[in-house]
Amino acid sequence: MQEILELQRKIVPELVEVLEKRYNVLRTIYYNQPIGRRMLANELNLGERVVRNEIDLLKSQSLIEINTPGMTVTKDGQKVLDGLKEFIYEIKGLNDIEQCIKSFLGVKDVVIVPGNVDENPETIKELGRAAANYIKNLIKDKDIIAITGGSTIKEVVEAFPKVNNVSDVLVIPARGGMGRKVESQANYLAASLANKLDGTYRLLHIPENVSHKVLEGLLKEKQIKEVIDTIHNADILIYGIGNAIHMAKKRGLSEEYISKLQELGAVGEAFGCYFNKNSEVVSENTPIGININDAKKINTHIAVAAGENKVEAIIAAEMNNSNAVLVTDEAAGRKIAELIKLNK
């Protein structure tokens, strides 16, 4: 298969471009169905004439249907999508990039999703699906799963299928936090994931940023203490990775604290820990929930992050994390691979 793909790249390189374009059109319709032609053109950042031609071809092959509400993908179209995903993966040589990054970072595994989240927002949904499928195959009876909040982790939970082959699974928020968007809070995501696993969940109803004096009082509460003790015994930790300064501002931390992070050279953030370029934890938020020492004791980390702008943060947070599985997009994967070559 690989030899044939190499020949195709050399003899008909335009075939790969056409194939990828049509895959993206079909995938975008699938994730937004029913969708109109103009909205589809906007989503893909393509001219309406180009989109119309692609739509006509997909319709002629019975891969999509066009009705009054908009376009939808047929069952045949879904089969083609599933098949093309593997083919495009091979064409792009993503397996080699995965192995390269896995060796460089020293992580347990790397999963790369074709595409670029910055150029095509639908890639984030593929990222969620890839992470969900990976996690689904890891979960065992009586597992405790700790999960953080965030828009990327929200996509993972939403992509999770209903699982009925495991029992007594407990899902808990990895850290406290009561942000503005309820649907991307750790508490909400823990409850949603537990429902899909037919399991149970516990909640942590406390803000993430509180003073030490308030924290001491909260930690004496029996219900809160029980949840935090359970977090420390988690089997799987699911989290996102962000740019350190961006995440600090998003959390509403003080200008003084943000300036301190900059002085310390913080570039990445994961589960409340701020990492510098040497992958050292230079600061932690008030420890309501999991901290770096607790995280190191958890056997499996599922880190989900994508986009070239997060490459530095990903490397900082995941370097030498032998418990980690990194799920990222092609753009970030290729950028990391480029940096690896430069450092050789």
Residue-level pLDDT at 275: 96
Residue with more model confidence, 129 or 177: 129
Closest CA to 284 of 251, 240, 306: 251
What is the distance of C-alpha 307 from the center of its chain?
Answer: 10
**% of the chain exceeding 90 in pLDDT:** 56
Closest CA to 23 of 54, 65, 53: 54
Q: At 214, is the pLDDT very low, low, confident or very high (cuts 50, 70, 90)? A: low
Residue-level pLDDT at 342: 79
Q: At 251, is the pLDDT very low, low, confident or very high (cuts 50, 70, 90)? A: confident
Do the strands 70-73 and 64-67 form a parallel or antiparallel pair, or are they unpaired? antiparallel
> pLDDT for 270-324, tens place per residue?
998 999 999 999 998 765 778 888 888 999 999 999 999 999 999 999 999 999 9
Provide the whole-model pTM.
0.85
Residue 100 has pLDDT above 80, yes or no: yes
> Which segment, 3-7, 162-166, 188-192, is predicted with the most confidence on average?
188-192
Could you give the dihedral angle defined by the CA atoms of residues 310, 312, 318 and 319, in that order, rounded to the nearest 10 degrees? 160
CA distance 15 to 182: 44
Residue with more model confidence, 5 or 245: 245
Q: Tell me the domains of the chain and their CATH numbers.
A: 2-91 (1.10.10.10), 94-343 (3.40.50.1360)
What value does the mean pLDDT take over residues 126-137?
93
> pLDDT for 14-56, tens place per residue?
777 788 888 889 988 998 889 999 999 888 888 889 899 999 9
Residue 2 has pLDDT above 90, yes or no: no
Residue-level pLDDT at 98: 96
What value does the mean pLDDT take over residues 102-116?
94
Q: At 143, is the pLDDT very low, low, confident or very high (cuts 50, 70, 90)? A: very high
Q: How far is CA 198 from CA 131, 194, 243, 255, in A?
A: 19, 6, 34, 43
